[in-house]
Amino acid sequence: MSTAAPPGLAQALFAPESIALIGASGDATKNTSRPQRFLKKHGYAGRVLPINPGRAEIFGERAYPDVRAVPGGIEHAFIMVPTAAVPEAIAQCCEKKVRVATIFSDGFAEVGAEGRRRQDEVLALARDAGMRILGPNCIGLVDTHSHLALTVNAVLEKAEIAPGEVAIVSQSGSMMGGLMSRGAGRGLGFSRLVSVGNECDISVGEVTGMLADDPETRVILLFMETIRDAKRLASAARRAYDAGKPVIVYKLGRSEVGVELASSHTGAMTGSDETADAFFRANGMLRVDLLETLFELPALVTGQRPVARHRVAVMTTTGGGAATVVDRMGTLGVEVVPPAARVVEDLARKGIRISGARLTDLTLAGAKKEIYSAVLEELIASDHCDLVLAVAGSSAQYQPHITVEPIVAAPRGKPLAAFLSPHAEVSLELLRNAGVAGFRTPEACADAIRAWRDWRAPAGVPRPDARRLASARALLGGEARPNEYQACRVFAALGVPHAEAAVITDPKQRVEIAFPAAAKILSPDITHKTEARAVRLNLTSADELAAAYEEILANARAYKKDARIEGMLVQKMERGLAELILGYKSDPQVGPVVVLGVGGVLAEVYCDFALRLAPVTAEEAAGMIEEVRGLAIIRGYRGLRKGDLSALARAVAAFSQLAYLEPRVSEAEINPLIVKEEGKGCIAVDGLLVLADN
C-alpha cells in the first residue's frame, strides 16, 4: 500500500493559504476563540475566515454567515460547531470544494453506535465530494515552519513553539499539549504536531507517511492508544526508516490481557499488547515504556541504524549512580560487558588502572578530565561493545568540565549515552547541544537502551509457497472448523510433518498403526481434549484401544453433550526432547501473527513465548527460537542433547504461510509440536484450525 499523500493534501493540511473557522467565537474565554487568536499570535500569514452567522466581525477579521458566503476558495476548514450541526457544516464545505476539514466537535464514534452512525454519515458526504477529514474529536494541529497553530489546545495560550526536527502524532487530543510542553522542557524543537482524533479518514499512518516526506522532520514520535489502519502505518514506518527517520512509539495498553480471547491457548497468550510489540518491531519502529523516554531517546538513535549486537559498556565516576542504571538494564535483559583485556592494557600503559569488572568505575582513579576522556575514547574505539554509557556523579552539577565536556568532545564511532545522577540542567543542555543523549533518570536511560537493543530493520516478508498452498487449499472442505485430522493434514501440506494417524468410527475397527498409540476424540467442538478427559496415551494393543474408545466417547459426551463426534483419532506415540506450542491468529488490529512457546497443557501457565507478524522467514523463526527462554533445554544448555533447531525453524516458517491461505484462517494451533534430536526433525501430534466466517 502506498502511503504517499494525494497531491496537495500535505499543503492543505499543514500550510494552507486560507482557513475557515466554522463556529468561531469572539469571546476570548471560549475554546472556539482560540484557533483564531493562536493563528495570529504565532504568525500565520494566510487568510483567516471566521464563520459565525451572528457576527459581522471577530477579533478584527470580517466574519461570514457560512462558508458559501466567503469570496474565493478555502483550503482548510476547522469545524467547532455542536455535534448535530457538523453534517450541515461538512455539506457546505463540500459545496465550497474545501480541500480538508478538521473536526474539533465530539460526539461521534467515541460515544457508541449512534455516534458512529453520525461519523459514517459525515465521512460519506466528504468522500462523495473528494474532501478529506482530520478527526472528528480532534484538537487540531501545528506546523512551526508555516506558523500554523490551528488548535484549541490551551498550551499555545502562553507557550512559544520552538521550531525543530521532531514531529509528534497523537491519538489523544488532550495529551498533545502535554507532549509538546514535555518535549520543549527537554529542549526539543518541533516541526509538526498533529492530533488525529477518531481517524475516520486521515489516520496516524497517513500522517506518518507525510512526515516521512517532510524535509523539516528527522524524528517521528507517536502517542498511540490503539492501532488503526495497520497496513498504511506499516508502509509509512518503512518509508520513514528508508528515509533515515526513526519512528518512536509510546503506546498505552501494557496491562491489557487482550481485547478478545480466542478459544485456544494461542488466543489466551496473544493479547493486543504482544501483537502491537510484534507489529512495531516488524516495521522498524522503536517502542518505549516510559513517557519520559519518548523525548530522550531521539538523540540516541537519530542518524543511527539497528546493529547486529547490543553489548553495552558502562563507565562512571559514581558507583552507586551507575548501579541504578545497570541494575535496571539487568531486569530488562540488556547485556552489560566488562572492558576488553586490550582496553585494560592500553589504559595501563597510560597510567590509568581500571578493573575488568562490568562497571568501569573511575571513582578511585581520580576525578580528572584527562582520565575520563582517555577511558571514554578507548571504550568507543573498542570492538568489544556496541554502545557506551557514561555515568556522571556530582561533577555533572558542579564541575561539568571534568565528566560532561569529555562526553561532548568524544568521537562518535558508536552510540553514546549519558546518565547524570544529580540534577544538572546546565550539563544536560551541553549534551543536548552536542547531540548526545542525556538522561535524567536511570529508568528512562535503561528503557532507551532497551528500545535501542530491540530495534530492528523492517522484517522481510517471504513469498507465498504457491505449490504447498495449493495442496493445503485442496484439503479444506466447507467446514468453518475442520477436525484435528483435517487440520494436521493441512499443516503437513504446508510443510509441518504430523504423527502417523488414522480415523476409526468403531471400537473394533483395525488400524495399521504400530503400538504404542494414542487415542483421542475427533470433534471440531472439543478443543481441549485433556480437559474433557477425551485422550488416552500409550495404548499397547487393539483390546486397550477398544476399551479406550468407549471410555473416551462417554467422557466427551458428558463434557459437551451436543458436540459433533466424527470418530476417534488414533496416532502413533511420538517422543522427543521438548513439547512446544506453535500458534497462529488473525489479529483484528495488525493481521496475522505466529507464536512459538513452551507447550503442552501448561502453555498458558508458563507464558514463555515469542511472537511475530506472519508470515516469517526461517531466519526470523530462528530468532524466535532464541527468544523463548524454556527452549534453552534444546539449545545445548549444560551439555543437554540439542534439538533439531533447523527443522523447527523450517516448521515455524511453513506454518506461518497460513497467512496466505484462502479461505482465510482466523486461528490455528499445534500443541504439542514435538522436537526431536538434531537431524531427526520435529512432528505435530495435535492440531486446531479455524477458518474465518464466510
DSSP string of 602-657, one letter each residue: THHHH--EEEEESS--HHHHHHHHHH-GGGGGGTTGGGPPPB-HHHHHHHHHHHGG
What percent of the chain has a predicted confidence (pLDDT) above 70? 95
pLDDT digits (tens, 9 = 90+) for 617-664: 999 999 999 999 999 999 988 889 999 999 999 999 999 999 999 989
SS3 156: helix
pLDDT at 254: 77
Write out the DSSP string of 15-83. Answer: S-SEEEEET--S-TTSGGGHHHHHHHHTT--SEEEEE-TT-SEETTEE-BSSGGGSSS--SEEEE-S-G
Nearest to 197 by CA among 253, 153, 139: 139
| Contact of 484 with 688, CB cutoff 8 Å | yes
Domain 307-454 has CATH 3.40.50.261: yes
pLDDT digits (tens, 9 = 90+) for 255-274: 653 333 333 334 445 457 89
SS3 337: coil
SS3 101: strand
pLDDT digits (tens, 9 = 90+) for 332-387: 999 999 999 999 999 999 999 999 999 999 987 666 899 999 999 999 999 999 99
Q: What angle do CA 569, 575, 578 make, to 5 degrees?
A: 110
pLDDT at 22: 99
Topology of the domain comprising 578-691: D-amino Acid Aminotransferase; Chain A, domain 1 (3.30.470)
pLDDT digits (tens, 9 = 90+) for 195-250: 999 999 999 999 999 999 999 999 999 999 999 999 999 999 999 999 999 999 99
Domains in the chain: boundaries:
9-245, 307-454, 500-573, 578-691
Domain 500-573 has CATH 3.30.1490.20: yes
**Arch. (CATH architecture) of 9-245:** 3-Layer(aba) Sandwich (3.40)
At what angle are helices 442-454 and 319-331 packed, to 10 degrees?
Answer: 40
Exposed, middle or buried, 10 (CB in 10 Å: 0-12/13-18/19+)?
buried
Average pLDDT over residues 579-588: 94
Nearest to 73 by CA among 9, 12, 18: 18
Q: How far apart are CA 392 and CA 434, in angstroms?
A: 17
| Contact of 55 with 186, CB cutoff 8 Å | no
pLDDT digits (tens, 9 = 90+) for 137-196: 999 999 999 999 999 999 898 778 899 999 999 999 889 999 999 999 999 999 999 999
Residue 478 reports pLDDT greater than 80: no
pLDDT digits (tens, 9 = 90+) for 530-561: 899 999 999 999 999 999 999 999 999 999 99
Residue 282 reports pLDDT greater than 50: yes
Average pLDDT over residues 459-468: 96
CA 601 to chain centroid, in Å, comes to: 29
The pTM of the whole model exceeds 0.75: yes
pLDDT at 4: 64
pLDDT at 268: 45
pLDDT at 253: 82
Report residue 416's pLDDT band, with 50, 70 and 90 as the boundaries: very high
pLDDT digits (tens, 9 = 90+) for 52-81: 999 999 999 999 999 999 999 999 999 999
pLDDT at 250: 98
Average pLDDT over residues 94-104: 98
Residue 27 reports pLDDT greater than 90: yes
Domains 500-573 and 578-691 share a fold: no
pLDDT digits (tens, 9 = 90+) for 597-617: 998 666 666 778 999 999 999
Mean pLDDT, all residues of the chain: 93
What ranges in 194-318 are assigned the alpha helix state H?
Answer: 204-213, 230-242, 265-269, 272-282, 291-296, 298-301
Angstrom distances, CA of residue 348 to CA of 314, 371, 379, 385? 18, 11, 14, 19
Which H or E element spans position 167?
A: strand 163-170
